[in-house]
Structure 1
Amino acid sequence: MHLPAPIRTYFTARAPQDGDTFAAAFAPHAIVHDEGHDHRGTQAIRNWWLAAKAKYRHHAEPIGMEQAGQKTIVRATVTGDFPGSPAVLSFTFGLAGDRITDLEIG
């Protein structure tokens, strides 16, 4: 599967060493919606990602990708320290150029 570059970075970045690389995949005013909360801007998104990695020690392996209008939806098997692991989740990305503008995880 050929993932767009910023989405590939999203799934291959390793915490904490790749925090800056991970954040750089997002547009300056990007928004991430996860677990009922919104995280706005690259610093907040970086902080959310590092905290989630520390809490759940999770890894997501993409298993499918589709386009839905202007969105790229990636289904991934997520394995980590959380009830129901592993779980298949959908990651709905909005892209502009080579940056993620929005992401909803569900």
Structure 2
Amino acid sequence: MSIELPKPIADYVAANAQLDTDAMLKPFAADAVFLDNGKRFEGHGQIRTLFEKEVVAVKAIFSPETIYREDDRIVVEGPVHGDFPGSPLRFTYRFKLEGDAIKALEVTI
């Protein structure tokens, strides 16, 4: 299923499909916050480490299926496939955008 995503989110999803860490970071604000199932990562350095250890290492690729608004967040849901136990798992991504950048992202299962 193809859905229309705001540009920073679409850029992140496209980069994730290629497992390209640099391109995945590009849409994030320099001071962005990423909450991954309760773990907090702040700024490009910490988010890069998260991507390298938790995304690229297990080839975790997100496939958006639905999008909706929840207060000031854009919520995108869909399966994540990869080399990890239970794959695929359904994830919920809650994005907060600021201008053309991702200011915050919370990912939950």
Does residue 97 (structure 1) correspond to residue 104 (structure 2)? The answer is no
Letter aligned with residue 91 of structure 1: Y
Task: Kindly report structure 1 stretches of 4+ aligned residues shifted beyond 4 Å.
Answer: none
User: Hey, what does 2:46 align to over in structure 1?
Assistant: 44
Q: CA deviation at 1:92?
A: 0.4
**Aligned counterpart for 1:21 among listed residues 15, 20, 23:** 23
What is the CA deviation profile of residues 25-80 of structure 1, one whole-angstrom value per residue up to 9, with x for unaligned ones?
Answer: 01111010113311100122122112222332111100000001110000011111
Identity %: 32
Structure 1 residue matching 2:55: 3-state secondary structure = helix
User: Hey, what does 2:70 align to over in structure 1?
Assistant: 68
- Structure 1 length normalisation: TM-score? 0.89
Letter aligned with residue 36 of structure 1: G
Confirm or deny: 8 A CA contact 1:74 1:92 kept in the other structure. yes
CA distance in 2, matches of 1:10, 1:32: 13
CA distance in 1, matches of 2:89, 2:107: 12
Q: CA deviation at 1:83?
A: 1.9
Structure 2 residue matching 1:56: 3-state secondary structure = coil
User: Hey, what does 2:61 align to over in structure 1?
Assistant: 59
Q: CA deviation at 1:88?
A: 1.1
- Structure 2 length normalisation: TM-score? 0.87
CA distance in 2, matches of 1:19, 1:58: 12
Confirm or deny: 8 A CA contact 1:23 1:43 kept in the other structure. no
Gaps of 5+ in 2: none
Provide the aligned C-alpha RMSD in A. Answer: 1.3
